[in-house]
Amino acid sequence: KKWVYLFKEGEASKKALLGGKGANLAEMTNIGLPVPYGFTVTTEACAEFYNQGEKLSDEIKAQVDECMKVIEEQSGKKFGDINDPLLVSVRSGAAISMPGMMDTILNLGLNDDSVIGLATKTENERFAYDSYRRFIQMFSDVVLSVPKYLFENVLDDAKEENGYESDTELTTEDLKKIVDEYKAIYKKEVRKAFPQDPKEQLEMAINAVFSSWNNARAITYRNIHNLSHSMGTAVNVQSMVFGNMGDDSGTGVAFSRNPATGENKLFGEFLMNAQGEDVVAGIRTPKTIDELGDIMPEVYAQFKEITENLEKHYKDMQDIEFTIEKGKLFILQTRNGKRTADAALRAAVEMVGEGLITKNEALLRIEPSSLDQLLHPTFDETTMVEAEALTKGLPASPGAASGKVYFTAHEAVAAVGKGEAVILVRKETSPEDIEGMNVANGILTARGGMTSHAAVVARGMGKCCVAGCDEVRVNEEAKEFTIKGEKFVEGDTISLDGSTGKVYKGSIKTVEPNLSGNFAQLMEWADETRTLKVRTNADTPVDSETAVRFGAEGIGLCRTEHMFFDEERIPEVRKMILSETVEQRKEALEKILPMQKADFKGIYKVMKERPVTVRLLDPPLHEFLPQEEADIKALSDDMNVSIEKMKEVINSLHEFNPMLGHRGCRLAITYPEIAVMQTRAIIEAAIEVNAEEGVCIKPEIMIPLAGMKTELEYLKGIVENTVEDVIAEKDGKLEYLVGTMIEIPRAAVTADEIAEVSEFFSFGTNDLTQMGFGFSRDDAGKFIGEYIDKEILPRDPFQSIDQAGIGKLVEIGVNLGRKTRNDLKIGVCGEHGGDPESIDFFYRAGLDYVSCSPYRVPIARLAAAQAVL
Ligand code: ADP
Ligand code: MG
Ligand code: MG
């Protein structure tokens, strides 16, 4: 079996076998770039190494020997030679770039003899001994975990004794002494002499790379990023070139385009007379790559041409390592450059213009969720340099915001009224905080996860939110919080970065997003490609407007209950809920009707011809009732009942399992008056807006939480009668649809029956997941993390749909539904509608549209295009 590949035997497509670094070194060798000779020990050899109980098999060792001989011939040097030694680097490289793996060892092959050879050959004894002492330190640290400080102490002592300021003042004699001391340290720590045989050095180094695949850092990294533990790493052995041979040598790193902005201009840094990672280590301040043009114009020109060719070859922005040895250029690594979302967008769009890639390739190149970063304000980068984070919570909703802290919704609203910028700080938020969240620039909570109320609502609002920030101790009563002992009171200014979860003291300048230009271009391409429609979940004209601006093609979910929490309306809503007779309830509903109608009119006016799906009241009623003593008292006064009586009624509405309780269509079945009022509001508003604006709104009335056809039959009757009444009263005309949400498993598996009554379906995948798994959405956070850690679940099913289970319910629902009504319009609303992986699934399942919060609309548009490609 072939375990080892010379660079000239490999190619870029063999990343799984040769690792990313090795595959690209091979590719560059084959297209004729100046790459130092070398070979790659494969990831399969890594697996074999573990099969053999962490040992290299004889076969692998023999193949390594053979390849070493080839490099010796190619370079005309010999490993361990006393006259002109071949030195190599040993570099790890897995298929997916992974920090935490073993560091690279440079200058391997030096020993007491070859160091003399190196000195003679280069006529630079100091350089030779400096390389040797670096090698001993690197090898000891990396291969045998001898603590670095032991070596650093020796170096510091030497400098102190001689009164030197910097390493460069060390003389050859000093370095020779240091090498002896280093070898002594090695001997003491390892209880063996420093290996003098280059072959032994090489074998130990290769072993160490393979072992590092399973060090704690690497395992943790793979766990966090969901990477397989069985891939293994490859090892690259490559002949050394020296950037530290004098002032005609150097080393650097460059990107073929600017990785921060995407600008098509070489971007990078280098250092003259330096080796390996001196550039990133920050020992000296590097020069910009442009300056290389002044120092070595010919090398610069050659390098520029190579970077351009590499980009053309890989059709992507490259991140390139290079070294110049005595005026000769060598390329040591290339890979697709990591870039910001901004840069990714600009580069992709411009590359299409340059004819480098196709529109489809550009669409596939952008990670849909990364668009999120482009839709929100961000902190000004120059100001960020000085900012120091106080603490970090969960990056619950992206964006950047500064403002004065307030602790209640009420005070937040008042402060905004006075023209202040506000950050709402709460232990956790509840529906009562909606208004405060709505006016605040950002939201900070001490508790709750990525799907907590604060996180979900903030994302929906496109508002910056940092949630579950443990170190923030909130005392809502005293109106203060502390972070690591530091106290903040009402009115103090802080800043939040919802994309990183960081919290800062004071205010930081923000920059507004730009949605035209490249962004608009990419979105246009996405729209040309996709077939899945994208709607939005919006409850207000403002949200609707935002969503339309982001390209929403309709509203897939308008939650009427959000309209009920408004400070002015909630008293009437409460009266309606607490009514003892139908008459009382109708009276209260009478007052709510004009408000609801006005809301719908506002939304219709924004949406115009675009479809609007309105869901009838869904949550359990007790969510609307007051909790605080003072509020209860106020309400009982207002309704003219005793406070005891009021508490009794409130208690009677309490449920043990509200999410499985008296909610959804069950409310309308027991209180049909509510459905009548809502239908009236929806229809009256539509008729009026059609007349006023000359549009043709066709409302879609959606009944939530149905599990049975009979529930729908009953309610559809009520809705249709109401619509007929209204149409007759108004002497108007109107087309409309009555449909249902499929969110109860029973509904999914009886979708053929349901479709006899329902004119459209919308999958409520949040509830469908909750009920399909039997996981409470509000409490599952407590154990889902562990399910994922223990690989019982691959990911949070509330974030990305569980395709095998809940997804199957969706497929069954689609198939059965369309059996009854072959043109049944089917969509999905809920968090999954904005998740790229779920969108791909919904496309395959044959849905007509997805609906997501306004700020996820562009993400869904791109993901829907990618689903087709
Ligand atoms: P990493 O994956 O951490 O970047 P690398 O294997 O790329 O590690 O190497 C670390 C540094 O050593 C880089 O600056 C690289 O250019 C340099 N280097 C690696 N191999 C050689 C070599 N054969 N000659 C000169 N420099 C090398
Ligand atoms: Mg590198
Ligand atoms: Mg639901």
Q: Determine the distance separating the centroid of ligand 2 and the alpha carbon of 383, expressed in angstroms.
A: 30
Sequential DSSP letters for 184-248: HHHHHHHSSPPP--HHHHHHHHHHHHHHHTTSHHHHHHHHHTT--TTS-EEEEEEE---S-SSTT
CA 267 to each of CA 62, 274, 337, 349, 379: distance values in angstroms, whole numbers, following the listed order: 42, 19, 11, 19, 23
pLDDT for 72 beyond 80: yes
pLDDT digits (tens, 9 = 90+) for 246-279: 889 999 999 999 988 899 999 988 988 888 766 6
Q: Which residues pair with 496 in a beta bridge?
A: 401, 503
Q: Is the CB of 269 under 6 A from ligand 1?
A: no
Please give the distance, rounded to the nearest whole angstrom, from the Cα atom of residue 333 to the centre of ligand 2.
6
Buried/exposed code over 6-17 (b: 16+ C-beta within 10 A; e: otherwise): bbebbbbebbbb
| Residue 485 predicted with pLDDT over 80 | yes
User: Mind giving me the DSSP string for 632-695?
Assistant: HHHHHHHHT--HHHHHHHHHHH--SSGGGSS-THHHHHH-HHHHHHHHHHHHHHHHHHHHHH--
E strands of 509-632, at which residues?
510-511, 533-537, 555-559, 612-615
Residue 615, domain member (yes or no): yes
Shared domain for 283 and 215, answered yes or no, is: no
From the CA of 277, the nearest ligand is 1
Assigned token pair, 143: 């291969």
814 lines ligand 1 (CB under 6 A): no
Contact 572, 588 (CB under 8 A): yes
Give the distance, in angstroms, between the CA of residue 641 and the centroid of all CA atoms in the same chain. 52
Question: Which one of the listed residues 376, 453, 562, 622 is annotated catalytic?
Answer: 453
Q: Give the pLDDT confidence score for residue 649 in this predicted structure.
A: 84
Ligand 1 atom closest to residue 280's alpha carbon, by position in its atom list = 14
Catalytic, out of 46, 67, 464, 829: 829
Question: In the prediction, which pLDDT does 372 show?
Answer: 84
601 and 748 assigned to the same domain:
yes
Nearest residue (by CA) to ligand 1, atom 15, is: 276
Partnered with residue 403 across adjacent β-strands are 494
Q: Identify which of 152, 140, 129 has the alpha carbon closest to the alpha carbon of residue 188.
A: 140
- Alpha-carbon dihedral angle through residues 323, 329, 333, 336, given to the nearest 10 degrees: 120
* Helix pair 518-529, 341-353: axis angle to 10 deg: 70
Give the pLDDT confidence of 387-438 residue by residue, as tens digits: 788 999 988 888 899 999 999 999 999 999 899 999 999 998 887 788 899 8
Indicate the SS3 state at residue 477: coil
Residue 272 within any structural domain of the chain: yes
Measure 740 CA to ligand 3 centroid, in angstroms: 11
Residue 345 inside a domain? The answer is: no
CA atoms within 13 A on the CB side of 87: 23
Residue bearing the CA closest to ligand 1, atom 11? 276
- Backbone φ/ψ region at 546: left (φ over 0), alpha (ψ -120 to 50), beta: alpha
Where does the pLDDT of residue 332 fall: very low under 50, low under 70, confident under 90, or very high at 90 and above? very high
User: What pLDDT does 638 receive?
Assistant: 83
Q: What sign for the dihedral angle of Cα 378, 384, 387, 391?
A: positive
Separation between Cα atoms, residue 510 and residue 529, nearest integer Å:
34
Ligand 1 geometric centre to CA of 752 (Å): 63
Measured in Å, residue 618 CA sits from the centre of ligand 1 at 60
Q: Ligand 1, atom 6: nearest CA belongs to which residue?
A: 91
pLDDT score of 565: 80
Say if residue 591's pLDDT is above 80.
yes
- Of the candidates 95, 89, 37, 56, the residue with the CA atom closest to the CA atom of residue 234: 95
Measure CA 808 to chain center. Answer: 27
Nearest atom in ligand 1 to the alpha carbon of residue 241 is 24
What CATH code is carried by the domain that includes residue 26? 3.30.1490.20
240 lines ligand 1 (CB under 6 A): yes
- Measured in Å, residue 69 CA sits from the centre of ligand 2 at 25
pLDDT digits 0-9 by tens, 101-120: 667 899 999 999 999 999 99
45-58: average pLDDT: 94
Catalytic residue at 469?
Answer: no
Q: Is the CB of 36 under 6 A from ligand 1?
A: yes
Ligand 3 center–CA 665 separation, angstroms: 11
Percentage, residues of the chain above pLDDT 70:
98
8 Å CB contact between 865 and 531: no
Which ligand is nearest to the Cα of residue 703, counting in written order?
3
109 lines ligand 1 (CB under 6 A): no
- Binding residues are 559, 615, 743, 764-767
Name the nearest CA neighbour of 183 among 125, 110, 124.
110
Structure tokens, 17: 């076998």
Cα(289)–Cα(270) distance, integer angstroms: 6
Query: Mutate which of 86, 91, 241, 245 to test ligand 1's pocket (most atoms within 8 Å of Cβ)?
Result: 91
Residue 133 located in a structural domain = no
pTM of the model: 0.83
Same domain, 81 and 100: yes
Nearest by Cα to 437 from 450, 422, 451: 422
**Residue 203 is assigned to a structural domain of this protein:** yes
Closest ligand 1 atom to Cα of 277? 14
Q: Are 586 and 530 in contact (CB under 8 A)?
A: no
Predicted pLDDT at 102: 67
Answer whether residue 700 shows pLDDT above 90.
Answer: yes
Query: For residues 849 and 832, is the Cβ–Cβ distance under 8 A?
Result: no
Substitution site in 77, 79, 104, 335 for ligand 1 pocket (most atoms within 8 Å of beta carbon) = 104
* Residue where one domain finishes, among candidates 339, 367, 400: 339
**Domain final position from 339, 362, 397:** 339
Q: What's the domain range around 420?
A: 376-511
**325 pocket-lining for ligand 1 (C-beta < 6 Å):** no
Q: How confident is the model at residue 19 (pLDDT cuts 50, 70, 90)?
A: very high
Among 236, 321, 334, which is best to mutate for testing ligand 1, by the most ligand atoms less than 8 A from CB? 321
293 and 307 together in one domain = yes
Is 623 a residue whose pLDDT tops 70?
A: yes
Closest ligand by atom to 763 CA: 3
Containing 378, the helix (H) or strand (E) segment is: strand 378-379
CB of 321 closer than 6 angstroms to any ligand 1 atom: yes
Query: Do 502 and 538 fall into the same domain?
Result: no
**Pseudo-torsion of CA 365, 366, 367, 369, nearest 10°?**
-170
Q: Mapping DSSP to helix (H, G, I), strand (E, B) and coil, where does residue 404 land?
A: strand
Which of these three, 291, 313, 339, is where a domain ends? 339
- Per-residue pLDDT of 645-664, as tens digits, reads 888 888 888 888 888 999 99
Atom 12 (ligand 1): residue with closest C-alpha? 276
Q: Whose CA is nearest to atom 20 of ligand 1?
A: 89
Q: Which ligand is nearest to the CA of 244?
A: 1
Say which CATH number the domain at 433 has.
3.50.30.10
* DSSP-derived pairing of the beta strands 85-86 and 88-94: unpaired
Q: How many angstroms does the Cα of residue 318 sit away from the middle of ligand 2?
A: 12
Q: Are residues 439 and 403 in the same domain?
A: yes
Structure tokens at 757: 């009554």
Cα 492 to chain center, whole Å? 31
Mean pLDDT of the 543-550 span? 93
Nearest CA owner, ligand 1 atom 22:
240
Q: Are residues 734 and 854 in the same domain?
A: yes
Q: Report the pLDDT value the prediction gives residue 143, as an integer from 0 to 100.
A: 92
Q: Which residue lies with its CA nearest to atom 1 of ligand 1? A: 104
**Is residue 282 scored above 70 in pLDDT?**
no
Say if residue 604 is in the same domain as residue 678: yes
The finding on whether 40 has its CB within 6 A of some atom of ligand 1 is: no
Nearest CA to ligand 1 atom 14: 276
CB 82 within 8 A of CB 116: yes
- Ligand at shortest distance from the CA of 19: 1
**Shared domain check, 740 and 670:** yes
Atom of ligand 1 nearest to the CA of 38: 23
Is residue 810 located within the same domain as residue 823?
A: yes
Answer yes or no: is 644 within a domain.
no
Dist. CA 212 → ligand 1 center (Å): 17
Ligand 1 atom closest to the Cα of residue 243 is 25
Mutate to test the pocket of ligand 1, among 238, 283, 333, 335 (most ligand atoms within 8 A of CB): 333
| pLDDT confidence band for 100 (50 / 70 / 90) | low
- Cite the annotated binding site for Mg(2+) by residue number: 743, 767
- Comparing CA positions, the residue from 74, 142, 73 lying closest to residue 107 is 142
> What is the spatial order of strands in the sheet that 493-497 belongs to?
389-392, 502-505, 493-497, 400-406, 422-426, 442-445, 464-467, 394-397
165 domain-assigned: no
Same domain for 415 and 500: yes
71 lines ligand 1 (CB under 6 A): no
Counting DSSP H helices and E strands in the chain, the numbers are 34, 33
Residues 594 and 707 in one domain: yes
Output the domain CATH number for residue 765: 3.20.20.60
Per the annotation, the verdict on 453 as an active-site residue is yes
Instruction: Give the residue, out of 37, 325, 332, with the most ligand 1 atoms within 8 A of its beta carbon, to mutate for a pocket test.
Output: 332
Separation in Å, CA 121 to CA 82, 238, 244, 720: 10, 20, 15, 96
Cα separation, 110 vs 130, whole angstroms: 11
Quote the CA–CA distance of 730 and 152 in Å, as a whole number.
Answer: 89
- Strands 442-445, 464-467: pairing kind: parallel
**pLDDT (average), residues 569-584:** 87
By three-state DSSP, how is residue 419 classified?
A: coil
Q: 252 CA distance to ligand 2 centroid (A)?
A: 10
Measuring CA to CA, which residue among 690, 684, 676, 668 is closest to residue 726? 684
Going from the Cα of 321 to the center of ligand 2, the distance in angstroms, rounded, reads 7
Going by the annotation, the residues of the binding site for substrate are: 559, 615, 743, 764-767
One-letter amino acid for residue 220 of the chain: T
Please report which confidence band the pLDDT of residue 826 belongs to, taking 50, 70 and 90 as the band edges: very high
Strand, helix or coil for residue 625: coil
Where residue 287 sits, what CATH number does that domain have? 3.30.470.20
Neighbours of 555 (CB within 10 A): 27
Assign 3-state DSSP to the chain and report helix, strand, coil percentages, each to 5.
50, 15, 30
pLDDT tens digits, residue range 163-196?
888 777 889 999 999 999 999 999 999 999 999 9
Ligand nearest the Cα of residue 93 is 1
The sign one gets for the Cα dihedral 351, 354, 358, 360 is: positive
Distance CA 136, CA 130 (A): 10
Query: Number of folded domains in the chain?
Result: 4
User: H or E stretch including 819?
Assistant: helix 806-820
Residue 464 located in a structural domain: yes
Q: Is 91 a pocket residue for ligand 1 (Cβ < 6 Å)? A: yes
**Strand pairing category for 825-829 and 760-764:** parallel
